[in-house]
Amino acid sequence: MGPILYFTQGLPYVLVVTVSVIMYKQLGVSNTDIGLYTSWLYLPWVLKPLTEPFSRP
């Protein structure tokens, strides 16, 4: 059950990054800027482990 759970937790990130790259490309944004902007989208997944101890009762 564990690997399936971790796989499904990663799906939202993959979907957000894929859709944003397609959107930025259609808007004519350069590849360098796309890399910068999509790296910022990863921030919630980076901060999640840091905020987890505070969210438990």
Domain count, the chain: 1
Residues near 33 by beta carbon (within 8 Å), at least 6 away in sequence:
24
Q: Which domain holds residue 27?
A: 13-52
In a domain, 17, yes or no: yes
In a domain, 57, yes or no: no
| CA dihedral (20, 23, 29, 32) positive or negative | positive
In a domain, 23, yes or no: yes
pTM greater than 0.85 (yes/no)? no
**Tell me: the pLDDT tens digits for 11-42?**
888 898 899 999 999 999 999 999 999 888 88
